[in-house]
């Protein structure tokens, strides 16, 4: 089936369901909590281990971190200010405001030291350890001051200290905060009564927020229109967003995004270890068509994890355009043809929107003779398989990438899980050397040059096929105000969101 036909068929089905719904809709019980619809449920509330997007975004609300980033991707103080005492020693001074854990205990330098030493201990297998290996020693000077001693000078080191701080007693007890939190952020944990429902509370005024997992995009829209959820963010097909934009009682806002979507490959697979096969897949994907018909006007084609606007990003580079004839040539060179077609298994989550994207990619690859078997799983199973390397091909997105040290975490040969996120087992000695050279350099201009060389090599090697930077949108009912979208799609806007009494008793045509 042509992807455009598929789009129109699903559009008609969705509109029919919604039309039936709005005719029969009735009022939903009111709740003072802000109910936030999620496409994927969180997996862990422990910032030392959480790597999935939903968990990371929620953990930002529950935990404070030493450092954050501004709109230009530069590190700025969050919980602490810092100064460089010598080429290899940074002193961080904790700020006075907001340093109380949920238990009432004050957050001190001892907690910072305990959190980061736990991550650095290889026995704990934290996925964040790889980005912190330059730390030689951590000294808690007093309650407010802590020194980080480095193996070698690094002018960008503060950008690595973005992990939420956990209380010392939690670390000493060996507890992993999978299903509860003990943070000092603007929200406190209330309860996680089921996998699909998590409740937190804003410390400032007691406003509750309920995260409600609704996997199906159409059902998520129905619940928004009924008032069963108050707002939802992203993960809807374009036609459902357009549908919501026409509803008087719903507000929809858009923003350019910097979250990087990609196709990932298992480099140990006999077929996919051939660069010609990966290049063929890149030439076979019509990214502009998918963006135009499915993803929205603010989604743009990507060539690297870092956006062109990032200080270390590729400003102008020819990427892979849609060239199906070139894809067939490369497949033939690699030994695949009509009598011996390339067959691949493509894993994705069971979210209908992600399945829809995967189905279109399956159809595009079929045009050049690649037979793709789609397999979808619940989010936790899918994500577990990807981290464990149980895949041939998959698609995911990196969210909130601001620190260019992401290249060590994702592409260095020593960052294979659990040491990092090199899930495709990619190995290129030249890339390793460039990453090591970046970390040995103290000159920012030289580092920028090296980062761009790394990105050029990755674009040639294609451990990932870059897809796009997906736009962000928020859809909310008429009683919700004060939420601010940001380019990395985090949920920080819940810190200022306001819910008023709804004036809408029922959805009407």
Query: Which pLDDT tens digit goes with each residue over 449-497?
Result: 999 999 999 999 999 999 999 889 999 999 999 999 998 899 999 999 9
Residues 6 or more apart whose Cβ sits within 8 Å of residue 231: 34, 35, 36, 37, 224, 474, 475, 476, 477, 480, 483, 497
Same domain, 391 and 432: yes
Q: Is residue 405 part of a domain?
A: yes
Per the model's pLDDT, the better-predicted residue between 99 and 400 turns out to be 99
Taking residue 13's Cβ as centre, other Cβ atoms within 10 Å add up to: 11
CATH number of the domain bearing residue 419: 3.10.105.10
Q: Is residue 48 part of a domain?
A: no
> Cα torsion at 427, 284, 301, 413 (round to 10°)?
-10
Chain centre to alpha carbon of residue 118? 24
Q: Out of 144, 173, 202, pick the residue that ends a domain.
A: 173
Q: Is residue 52 part of a domain?
A: no
Please give the DSSP secondary-structure letter assigned to residue 97.
T
Q: Out of 173, 203, 235, pick the residue that ends a domain.
A: 173
Q: Which pLDDT belongs to residue 502?
A: 62
Q: How far is CA 284 from CA 327, 418, 504, in A?
A: 6, 32, 48
Q: What region, left, alpha or beta, does residue 425 occupy, with left being phi > 0 and alpha being psi -120 to 50 degrees?
A: left
Q: Which pLDDT belongs to residue 389?
A: 93
Same domain, 445 and 485: no
Q: List beta partners, residue 470.
A: 259
Taking residue 401's Cβ as centre, other Cβ atoms within 10 Å add up to: 20
Q: Is residue 53 part of a domain?
A: no
Q: Which pLDDT belongs to residue 509?
A: 33
Q: Which pLDDT belongs to residue 70?
A: 86
Q: Is residue 180's pLDDT more than 80?
A: yes
Q: Is residue 219 part of a domain?
A: yes
Structure tokens at 102: 């949920």
pLDDT, one tens digit per residue, over 33-83 is 999 999 999 999 999 999 899 999 999 999 999 999 987 788 999 999 999
pLDDT, one tens digit per residue, over 241-281 is 999 999 999 999 999 888 899 999 999 999 999 999 999 99
Mean of the pLDDT values across residues 96-114? 93
Q: Is residue 14's pLDDT more than 60?
A: no
Same domain, 104 and 211: no
Backbone phi, psi, residue 75, to 5°: -65, 140
Dist. CA 419–CA 388, nearest whole Å = 12
Mean of the pLDDT values across residues 328-334? 97
Same domain, 267 and 296: yes
Helix H or strand E encompassing 402: none
In the block, tokens 């700020």 appear at 95
Range of the domain at 169: 60-173
Same domain, 21 and 99: no
Q: Is residue 211's pLDDT more than 60?
A: yes
Residues 6 or more apart whose Cβ sits within 8 Å of residue 217: 39, 235, 236, 237, 240, 351, 352, 353
Same domain, 67 and 195: no
Which of 41, 10, 35, 466 is closest to 238 using CA atoms? 10
Same domain, 376 and 488: no
> Cα torsion at 129, 168, 380, 407 (round to 10°)?
-20
Q: Which pLDDT belongs to residue 6?
A: 47
Mean of the pLDDT values across residues 338-364? 94
Of all residues in the chain, the percent with pLDDT exceeding 90 is 76
The pLDDT-based confidence of 503 (bands split at 50, 70, 90) is low
Residues 6 or more apart whose Cβ sits within 8 Å of residue 248: none
Mean of the pLDDT values across residues 344-348? 97
Helix H or strand E encompassing 150: strand 145-150
**Which pTM value belongs to this model?**
0.80
Dist. CA 57–CA 233, nearest whole Å = 12
pLDDT, one tens digit per residue, over 360-399 is 999 999 999 999 999 999 988 999 999 999 999 999 999 8
Of all residues in the chain, the percent with pLDDT exceeding 70 is 93
Q: Is residue 413's pLDDT more than 60?
A: yes
Q: What are the helix (H) ranges across 30-167?
A: 53-62, 109-120
Mean of the pLDDT values across residues 107-116? 98
Mean pLDDT of the chain: 90
Residues 6 or more apart whose Cβ sits within 8 Å of residue 378: 349, 350
Q: Which pLDDT belongs to residue 214?
A: 95
Helix H or strand E encompassing 122: none
- Number of domains present in the structure of the chain: 3
Same domain, 74 and 27: no
Rg of the chain over Cα atoms, rounded to whole angstroms, equals 23
CATH number of the domain bearing residue 117: 3.90.76.10
Dist. CA 301–CA 313, nearest whole Å = 14
Which of 385, 339, 393, 333 is closest to 365 using CA atoms? 393
CATH number of the domain bearing residue 220: 3.40.190.10
Q: What region, left, alpha or beta, does residue 13 occupy, with left being phi > 0 and alpha being psi -120 to 50 degrees?
A: alpha
Same domain, 196 and 297: no
Helix H or strand E encompassing 295: none
Residues 6 or more apart whose Cβ sits within 8 Å of residue 459: 303, 304, 314, 317, 319, 466
Q: Is residue 225's pLDDT more than 50?
A: yes
Same domain, 331 and 408: yes
Q: Out of 155, 173, 191, pick the residue that ends a domain.
A: 173
Q: Is residue 275 part of a domain?
A: yes
Backbone phi, psi, residue 95, to 5°: -75, 160
Q: Is residue 386 part of a domain?
A: yes
Same domain, 242 and 282: no
Q: Is residue 55 part of a domain?
A: no
Q: Is residue 20's pLDDT more than 50?
A: no
Same domain, 12 and 34: yes
């Amino acid at each position: 089936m042509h992807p455009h036909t598929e789009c129109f068929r699903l559009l008609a089905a969705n509109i029919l369901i919604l039309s039936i719904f709005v005719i029969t809709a009735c009022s939903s019980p009111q709740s003072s909590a802000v109910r936030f619809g999620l496409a994927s449920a969180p997996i862990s509330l422990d910032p030392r281990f959480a790597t999935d997007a939903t968990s990371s975004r929620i953990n930002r609300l529950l935990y404070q971190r030493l450092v954050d980033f501004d709109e230009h991707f530069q590190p700025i103080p969050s919980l602490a200010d810092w100064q460089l005492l010598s080429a290899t020693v940074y002193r961080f001074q904790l700020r006075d405001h907001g340093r109380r854990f949920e238990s009432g205990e004050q957050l001190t330098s001892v907690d910072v030291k305990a959190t980061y030493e736990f991550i650095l201990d290889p026995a704990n297998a934290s996925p964040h350890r790889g980005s912190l290996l330059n730390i030689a020693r951590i000294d808690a000077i007093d309650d407010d001051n802590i020194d980080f001693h480095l193996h070698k000078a690094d002018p960008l080191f503060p950008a690595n200290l973005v992990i939420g701080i956990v209380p010392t007693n939690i670390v000493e007890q060996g507890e992993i905060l999978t299903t509860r939190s003990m943070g000092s952020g603007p929200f406190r944990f209330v309860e996680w009564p089921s996998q699909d429902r998590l409740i937190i509370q804003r410390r400032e005024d007691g406003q509750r927020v309920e995260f409600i997992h609704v996997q199906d995009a159409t059902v998520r829209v129905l619940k928004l229109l009924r008032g069963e959820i108050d707002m939802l963010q992203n993960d809807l097909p374009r036609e459902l967003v357009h549908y919501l934009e026409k509803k008087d009682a719903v507000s929809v806002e858009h923003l350019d995004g910097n979250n990087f979507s990609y196709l990932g490959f298992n480099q140990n697979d006999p077929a996919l270890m051939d660069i010609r096969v990966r290049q063929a897949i890149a030439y076979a994907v019509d990214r502009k068509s998918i963006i135009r018909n499915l993803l929205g006007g603010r989604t743009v084609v990507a060539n690297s994890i870092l956006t062109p606007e990032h200080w270390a990003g590729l400003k102008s580079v020819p990427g892979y355009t849609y060239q199906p004839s070139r894809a067939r040539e490369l497949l033939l060179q690699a030994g695949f043809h009509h009598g011996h077609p390339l067959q691949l298994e493509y894993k994705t989550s069971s979210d209908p929107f992600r399945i829809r994207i995967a189905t279109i990619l399956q159809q595009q690859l079929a045009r050049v003779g690649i037979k793709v078997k789609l397999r979808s799983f619940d989010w936790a199973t899918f994500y577990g398989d990807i981290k464990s390397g149980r895949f041939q091909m998959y698609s995911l997105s990196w969210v909130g990438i601001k620190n260019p040290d992401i290249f060590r975490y994702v592409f260095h040969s020593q960052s294979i899980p659990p040491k990092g996120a090199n899930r495709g087992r990619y190995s290129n000695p030249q890339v390793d050397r460039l990453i090591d050279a970046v970390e040995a350099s103290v000159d920012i201009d030289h580092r920028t040059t090296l980062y761009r060389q790394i990105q050029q090599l990755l674009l040639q090697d294609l451990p990932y096929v870059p897809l796009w930077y997906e736009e962000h949108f928020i859809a909310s009912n008429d009683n919700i105000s004060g939420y601010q979208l940001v380019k990395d799609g985090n949920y920080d806007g819940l810190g200022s969101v306001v819910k008023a009494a709804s004036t809408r008793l029922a959805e009407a045509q």
